[in-house]
Structure 1
Amino acid sequence: MNALTQPDSPQAALAANGEQLQRARDLLQRTLEFVRQQARPWSGSGLSKASDDPYVISRFGDLQIRIEVAAALHERARQRLQQDQDPAEVAVALAEAAIAVGEALLATGNAEFELTGQRSPQPQALHDPLRWKYQLVGNYRLNGALPQGFRSAV
Structure 2
Amino acid sequence: MTTTETGELAHAVGTELQQQREDRGWSRAALAAWCNNQVKARTLITWEKATRSMSLRQLGDASRLYLTRPSDLLARAERRIGWNPDLTVDLATLAATQIDALRPAARWAQQQLHTGEPPFRRLNPDDLARLADRCRLSIAHLTILLSTEAPVHP
* TM-score normalised over the length of structure 1: 0.27
RCO comparison, higher one (Cα < 8 Å, 6+): 1
Larger radius of gyration, structure 1 or 2? 2
* TM-score normalised over the length of structure 2: 0.27
Q: Which has the higher helix share?
A: 1
